C-alpha cells in the first residue's frame, strides 16, 4: 500500500509539471520576455532547472508522437533516387550500410528500408499504391545485387536507420545553456542592426530573414580595411577591398543559408561579406528548427520544408526583381547562394523546385550529396564516440599511436563536442528526426543549373569528403565526355537565334576545392578561408550577372522547364584562380574542369 501511495504521489507530481495550465502560461511569459527570464533565473535557478527538466521531457514525448510531413512529391523523388543508388558499384554494401545490429540482412529488412524511403512509414502502414511501388523497387534491388545476397525472411536483430520513424533520443540540456545562446542571438541581432541589416518577413509567410539592401556603385575600392576576429588569435585583421566596378543593373542578390547552431557563428562572415561585396541585397533566412531554440512547452507541428522553400522563393523573387531592374524582363529573377552544412540541404530543396532562380552557388561542407548512403545519417545520429579512448591511449603507451599528439587530436574532441552539444540536444533531435527528409534534401550534380563551387573539408566528421569528392569528379568527367560526344555528333547544341546568329550554349561548370586539414565548419570560422571564399563567390556572381540567362538556357526552350537535363556542350573558358590571400590557407587541393 505504501508503494502504491508513493507511485500515486509521483504521478500527481508528474501531472503538475506535464499539463498544468498555470505552468504553461508561465513558460509562455518566460519565453516571450528574455530580460524577465534572465532575472528569474538568477533568483530561482534551482527550481527553474527542475521545472525545465520536466518541460524537456514533455517536449520529447509530444514531438516523438508527431509524424514527419510527407507529400506525394516525396514518393516521386524516391522513385527518382533509386536508379542512382542502384547504379553504384557495390549496391549490396550500400543497402547493408543502412542496418545496425547482429546477423545477416534479409529480404524483409530490405523491404523495410524501401518502404521507409518512399513513404516514411513502416511496411505494415503502407497503402496499396505505396506497396506496389515498394515491391517494384525491391525487384530492382534484387536484380542489382548478386544472387543470394539477401535470403528470405526477416531478422529482428538488424535495426534499420529509419530515423524519422523513431522517437527522439532521450537527451537534455540545462536551461542556462539556452539562456546563454539566447543572449548570443540578442547580441548578434544588435550587431546586424548596427551594420545596416533589417529583420523582415513577407506578407503571409512564416520565414523571417535578415536583409541588407546593399548599394549600387563601386565596391570596397582599392584601399585597405580591417575587421576584428577571435580566431586564430584575437585581433584586427587587414584585407584589401574588391576592385571591380559592377555595371548598373547587373547586381545579384546573395542568399546565405546557415547550418546547425543558428546565425550566431556566421555573423563575422556576414560582416566580411558586406564589406567586400557591398553591392546588391544580402539575404539571410533564419532556420529556427536548427538554431538551438529552447524546446517549446507546447511544440507546434514539425516544420514542413516545402513551405520553407515556397517562402524562400517569394523572398528571392522580390529582391532579385528589384535588384535586376529593367533587366528582369530577360528572364526569371535570379540570385546567388552561399550554403553551409544543413543549409546545403535547404538549397537542394530550393534548386530542385526553382532551378531558374539560381544564378550561382557555393556549397561548403555539403551534406546534400550521396544522401542515399549511410554516412551522413550515421555520423550525426547513430555514431557513439568513446570519451575515454584518447585518454587511455595517452596513459597506455603500448597502444598504437599513443602519445600526446594522439590524445590531443582536434578531430576527436570536435566529434565529441558535436555529439554532446548538438546531437544530444532536443531541438536538433527534432530537426533531424521530424523535419529532415532526405528525399527533399538529396541533390544530384546534374540538378545544379548554374556555375557552382563545392568546398570540402578533408577531416570532416559528418560528410564523407573523400567519397563525395570522387563522386563529383567522376560525374564531371562523365558530363564533359557526353558534352564532347554531343558536339561531335552535331546534337542540339545550338540555340535557335536565327541564321548566323546561332550560338552554342555554355556548359554548366562545377569547381571542387578540398582543404585537406580542415574539419567540418572550420572554413566558416577561419577569416583567411572566409576571405578567399568571398573572392571566389564574387567571381561566380560577376560572371553570372554579366551572362544573360539565354547563354545557358535559352528562353522558350525545353531547357527552361527542365534545366538540369539541358545539353551541356561548350566548356566555359578557364578562369584565373583566386589569389592566395594567406599562407595559412595553402593546404588545399583545387580541381577545375
More confident residue, 578 or 285: 285
Give tens-digit pLDDT for 34-48: 888 889 999 999 999
Q: How far apart are CA 357 and CA 348, in angstroms?
A: 13
Across 287-300, average pLDDT: 88
Residue 508 clears pLDDT 50, i.e. is over it: yes
81-90, 133-142, 406-415, 526-535, range with the lowest pLDDT: 406-415
Question: Is pLDDT at 510 greater than 70 in this prediction?
Answer: yes
Check pLDDT > 50 for residue 28.
yes
Q: 434-481, pLDDT tens digit by residue?
A: 988 888 899 999 899 999 999 999 888 899 999 999 999 998 888 888
My answer on whether 218 and 357 are in the same domain is yes
89, part of any domain: yes
The whole-chain average pLDDT of the chain stands at: 78
For the cut 60, the answer to whether the pLDDT of residue 532 exceeds it is yes
Q: What is the pLDDT of residue 11?
A: 55
Mean pLDDT of 43-70: 90
More confident of the two residues 22 and 385? 22
Confidence at residue 558, expressed as pLDDT on a 0 to 100 scale: 35
Residues 498 and 543 in one domain: yes
One domain, residues 308 and 283: yes
| Confidence (pLDDT) at 567 | 31
- The alpha-helical segments, DSSP class H, found in 302-363 are 305-324, 342-353
pTM value is: 0.82
| Count of all residues that appear for the chain in the document | 593
User: Which residue, of 141, 160, 179, is where some domain finishes?
Assistant: 160
Shared domain for 444 and 479, answered yes or no, is yes
Contacts of 313 (CB under 8 A, 6+ apart): 350, 353, 354, 357
Is residue 67 assigned to a domain? no
* % of residues, the chain, pLDDT over 70: 74
Q: Are both 489 and 543 inside the same structural domain?
A: yes
SS3 360: strand
The answer to whether position 405 is within a domain reads: no
Is pLDDT of 19 > 70? no
pLDDT in tens, 155-184: 999 999 999 999 998 888 999 999 999 999
Q: Could you tell me if residue 566 is inside a domain? A: yes
Closest CA to 205 of 313, 292, 293, 301: 313
Using a 10 angstrom Cβ sphere, with 0-12 exposed, 13-18 middle and 19 or more buried, the burial of residue 312 is buried
Does residue 490 sit within a domain? yes
Which residues are bridge partners to 593 per DSSP?
Answer: none
Q: What's 226's DSSP letter?
A: E
| Higher per-residue confidence, 571 vs 42 | 42
3-state secondary structure of 150: coil
| Nine-digit cell string for 26 | 508561465
| Domains: count for the chain | 3
The CATH number of whichever domain residue 466 belongs to comes to 3.40.50.1820
Contact (CB, 8 A) for 214 and 282 = yes
Q: What is the pLDDT of residue 286?
A: 92
Name the residue with higher pLDDT: 579 or 114: 114
For residue 494, what pLDDT is reported?
A: 40
pLDDT at 367: 93
- Tell me: do 480 and 581 sit in the same domain: yes
Task: Tell me the C-alpha distance between 360 and 453, whole Å.
Answer: 8
**CB half-sphere exposure, 96, CA atoms < 13 A:** 13
Least confident residue range of 9-13, 17-21, 110-114, 462-466: 9-13
Give CA separation, 56 vs 7, 43, 51, in Å: 22, 21, 9
Residues 308 and 223 in one domain: yes
**Cβ-contact 78, 439 below 8 angstroms:** yes
Residues 283 and 352 in one domain: yes
Q: State which residues form the domain around 134.
A: 72-160
Inside any domain, residue 384: no
Residue 410 lies in a domain: no
Tell me the range of 96-105, 399-408, 547-556 where mean pLDDT is highest: 96-105
Domain assignment present for 53 = yes
State the pLDDT confidence band at 13, using cuts at 50, 70 and 90: low
Residues 55 and 108 in one domain: no
Share of the chain above pLDDT 90, in %: 32
Looking at the fold, whether 95 and 149 belong to one and the same domain comes out as yes
Residue 593 has pLDDT above 90, yes or no: no
Do 534 and 558 share a domain, yes or no?
yes
Let me know whether 497 and 581 are in one domain: yes
- Residue of higher predicted confidence among 308 and 403: 308
**pLDDT value at residue 574:** 37
Confidence of residue 548 (pLDDT cuts 50, 70, 90): low
The domain boundary, picked from 108, 137, 160, lies at: 160
Q: What's the whole-number mean pLDDT along residues 135-139? A: 92
CA separation for the pair 547, 449 (Å, rounded): 14
Q: What is the mean pLDDT of residues 180-191?
A: 91
pLDDT recorded at residue 224: 43
Amino acid at each position: 500500500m505504501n508503494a502504491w501511495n508513493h507511485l500515486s504521489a509521483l504521478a500527481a507530481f508528474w501531472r503538475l509539471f506535464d499539463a498544468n495550465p498555470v505552468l504553461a502560461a508561465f513558460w509562455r511569459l518566460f519565453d516571450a520576455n528574455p530580460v524577465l527570464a534572465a532575472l528569474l533565473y538568477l533568483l530561482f535557478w534551482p527550481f527553474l532547472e527542475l521545472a525545465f527538466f520536466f518541460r524537456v521531457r514533455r517536449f520529447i514525448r509530444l514531438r516523438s508522437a508527431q509524424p514527419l510531413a510527407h507529400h506525394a512529391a516525396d514518393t516521386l523523388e524516391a522513385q527518382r533516387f533509386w536508379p542512382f543508388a542502384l547504379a553504384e558499384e557495390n549496391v549490396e554494401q550500400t543497402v547493408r550500410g543502412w542496418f545496425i545490429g547482429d546477423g545477416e540482412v534479409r529480404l524483409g529488412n530490405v523491404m523495410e528500408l524501401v518502404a521507409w524511403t518512399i513513404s516514411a512509414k513502416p511496411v505494415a502502414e503502407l497503402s496499396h499504391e505505396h506497396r506496389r511501388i515498394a515491391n517494384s523497387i525491391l525487384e530492382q534491388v534484387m536484380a542489382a545485387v548478386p544472387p543470394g545476397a539477401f535470403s528470405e525472411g526477416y531478422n529482428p536483430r538488424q535495426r534499420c536507420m529509419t530515423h524519422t520513424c523513431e522517437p527522439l533520443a532521450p537527451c537534455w540540456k540545462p536551461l542556462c545553456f539556452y539562456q546563454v545562446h539566447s543572449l548570443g542571438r540578442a547580441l548578434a541581432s544588435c550587431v546586424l542592426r548596427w551594420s545596416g541589416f533589417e529583420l523582415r518577413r513577407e506578407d503571409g509567410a512564416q520565414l523571417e530573414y535578415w536583409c541588407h539592401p546593399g548599394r549600387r556603385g563601386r565596391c570596397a575600392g582599392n584601399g585597405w580595411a580591417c575587421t576584428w576576429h577571435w580566431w586564430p588569435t584575437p585581433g584586427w585583421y587587414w584585407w584589401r577591398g574588391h576592385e571591380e566596378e559592377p555595371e548598373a543593373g547587373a547586381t545579384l542578390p546573395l542568399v546565405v543559408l546557415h547550418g546547425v547552431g543558428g546565425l550566431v557563428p556566421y555573423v563575422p562572415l556576414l560582416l566580411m561579406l558586406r564589406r567586400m561585396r557591398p553591392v546588391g541585397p544580402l539575404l539571410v533566412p533564419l532556420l529556427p528548427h536548427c538554431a538551438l531554440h529552447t524546446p517549446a512547452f507546447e511544440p507546434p507541428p514539425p516544420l514542413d520544408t516545402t513551405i520553407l522553400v515556397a517562402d524562400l522563393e517569394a523572398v528571392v523573387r522580390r529582391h532579385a526583381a528589384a535588384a535586376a531592374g529593367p533587366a528582369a524582363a530577360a528572364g526569371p529573377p535570379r540570385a546567388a547562394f552561399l550554403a553551409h552544412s544543413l543549409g546545403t540541404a535547404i538549397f537542394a530543396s530550393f534548386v530542385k523546385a526553382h532551378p531558374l532562380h539560381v544564378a550561382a552557388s557555393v556549397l561548403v561542407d555539403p551534406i546534400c550529396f550521396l544522401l542515399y548512403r549511410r554516412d551522413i545519417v550515421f555520423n550525426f545520429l547513430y555514431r557513439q564516440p568513446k570519451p575515454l579512448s584518447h585518454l587511455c591511449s595517452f596513459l597506455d603507451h603500448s597502444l598504437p599511436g599513443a602519445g600526446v599528439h594522439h590524445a590531443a587530436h582536434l578531430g576527436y574532441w570536435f566529434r565529441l563536442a558535436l555529439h554532446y552539444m548538438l546531437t544530444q540536444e532536443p531541438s536538433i533531435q527534432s530537426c533531424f528526426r521530424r523535419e529532415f527528409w532526405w528525399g527533399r534534401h538529396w541533390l544530384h550534380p546534374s540538378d545544379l543549373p548554374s556555375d557552382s563551387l563545392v568546398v570540402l573539408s578533408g577531416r570532416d566528421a559528418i560528410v564523407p569528403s573523400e567519397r563525395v569528392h570522387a563522386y563529383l569528379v567522376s560525374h564531371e568527367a562523365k558530363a564533359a565526355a557526353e558534352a564532347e560526344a554531343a558536339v561531335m555528333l552535331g546534337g542540339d547544341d545550338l540555340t535557335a537565334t536565327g541564321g548566323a546568329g546561332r550560338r552554342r550554349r555554355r556548359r554548366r561548370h562545377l569547381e571542387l576545392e578540398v582543404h585537406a586539414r580542415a574539419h567540418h565548419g572550420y572554413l566558416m570560422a577561419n577569416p583567411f578561408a572566409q576571405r578567399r571564399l568571398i573572392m571566389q563567390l564574387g567571381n561566380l556572381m560577376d560572371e553570372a550577372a554579366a551572362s544573360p540567362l539565354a547563354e545557358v538556357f535559352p528562353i522558350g526552350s525545353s531547357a527552361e522547364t527542365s534545366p538540369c537535363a539541358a545539353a551541356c556542350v561548350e566548356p566555359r573558358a578557364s578562369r584565373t584562380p583566386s589569389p592566395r590571400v594567406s599562407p595559412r590557407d595553402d593546404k588545399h587541393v583545387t580541381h577545375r574542369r
